[in-house]
Amino acid sequence: MRLTKRQLKRIIREEYSGLKRRGLIRENAGLSIDADQICDIIMQADSMGDYEGYCGFAEEQMDGISIAARTEMADEELVRMGIFDGDYMVCPPTAQEFCDLLRDPAFQNSPVGQMVISVLT
């Protein structure tokens, strides 16, 4: 069976995310970036007219957790949150909606929220 480069990257990201979730890999040891700091970056990108550019980066980072996220939460819930289009994780339509989602305690405490915040830090 042949794998495309994209498929291989996705498999690697999924496995890597799984290892991070289980605590076998720790990134940013000693560095703690929270949702507010991520939102500062998002809002700064938006003020420069580059929210779409940030979203491209964020969606690429979140692509690896799409399958893991689907096992943790129902697709309908992810769509309701505005971060899943049925196939891939996506950015909410506006920077403010993205920040509101990241700052929502229910989202932060959900497995998907923890994965999203983790890959964006």
pLDDT band with cut points at 50, 70 and 90 for residue 110: confident
CA triplet 30, 119, 10: central angle to 5 degrees? 135
Tell me which amino acid residue 57 is. Answer: F
Using DSSP, state whether 84 is helix, strand or coil: strand
* 72 has pLDDT over 80: no
Give the residues across from 89 on adjacent strands.
84
**Beta-carbon count within 10 A of 34 CB:** 12
On average, the pLDDT of the chain sits at: 75
The size of the chain, in residues, is 121
Residue 86 has pLDDT above 60, yes or no: yes
pLDDT, tens digit, 9 for 90 and up, residues 31-54: 456 788 888 988 998 899 888 888
Packed helices 111-120 and 95-103: angle between N→C axes, nearest 10 degrees = 120
Query: What are the residue boundaries of the structural domains of the chain, listed by start?
Result: 35-120
